[in-house]
Chain A
Amino acid sequence: DAGVIQSPRHEVTEMGQEVTLRCKPISGHDYLFWYRQTMMRGLELLIYFNNNVPIDDSGMPEDRFSAKMPNASFSTLKIQPSEPRDSAVYFCASSLGNTGELFFGEGSRLTVL
């Protein structure tokens, strides 16, 4: 299996622009997570899905952030409009059932100028 695939790996954009991050989970996994990693706040859970349904989005910082999972093999995290404080590495992870192990992608490094 190719693992969790994220794109883009790097994104540089200007404040106010829309940013869309993409994730393909491991085939057969029924949980998908979006995390944000910064030096100041560490790894923070933004939202997670079970069987394509959002379960907990309490970590989404504000209305500028939205996430969708239209099918079992694809998810997006959108920031509109982006701000410099959104600069971070965004990780997607997937897991199977309640095994507990999260499989992380390699991350999308976002820089908002």
Chain B
Amino acid sequence: GENVEQHPSTLSVQEGDSAVIKCTYSDSASNYFPWYKQELGKGPQLIIDIRSNVGEKKDQRIAVTLNKTAKHFSLHITETQPEDSAVYFCAASIGNYGQNFVFGPGTRLSVLP
């Protein structure tokens, strides 16, 4: 079955710096890769996603890159702000664009003022 690994587990950056979180997946049939942000006491919320026919996607300060050959994808946050502090989860669809996902273990990002 699908296995998703995520690194690092914790990340501290200075406000204004960039943050990068990396994920790998095992199922070559996976074709949808969302990223979720979870703030304390709340449910995860989708912040960006990418499909396998695209190599990169950007939305303001966040971007995601996908390397299907190597089976890894990354989240990039530029000009980090204190409100970016949260736990970030990557996920990969199980098989071909299903409604079922495997989530990575999460990365706790702290943006220091």
Contact = CB atoms under 8 A, between A and B. Distances in A.
A33 B43 CA distance: 13
Interface residues of A, number: 21
A1 interface: no
Given A43-B89, A43-B103, A106 B97 contact: no
A44 to B, nearest CB: 8
Given A43-B44, A100-B32, A106-B42, A50 B99 contact: yes
Interface class of chain A by DSSP: strand
A101 B105 contact: no
Given A100-B97, A106-B43, A107-B42, 4 more contacts: A50-B99, A101-B49, A102-B46, A106-B42
Q: What 4 A-B pairs come out closest when comparing CB atoms? A: A104-B43, A43-B103, A42-B105, A101-B46
A50 B89 CA distance: 24
Interface string B29-40: 000101010000
Contacts, number: 48
A98 B43 contact: no
Contacts of B36: 102
A110 B104 CA distance: 22
Interface residues of B, number: 20
A40 to B, nearest CB: 10
B80 interface: no
Contacts of A48: 99-100
Contacts of A31: 99
Contact of B43 (A45, A56, A93, A95): A93
Interface of A: 4, 31, 33, 42-43, 45, 48, 50, 55-56, 91, 93, 95, 98, 100-102, 104-107
Contact of A45 (B42, B45, B100): B100
A56 B89 CA distance: 22
A95 B100 CA distance: 11
Given A42-B105, A48-B99, A95-B99, A100 B93 contact: yes
A91 B89 contact: no
B41 interface: yes
B99 A104 contact: no
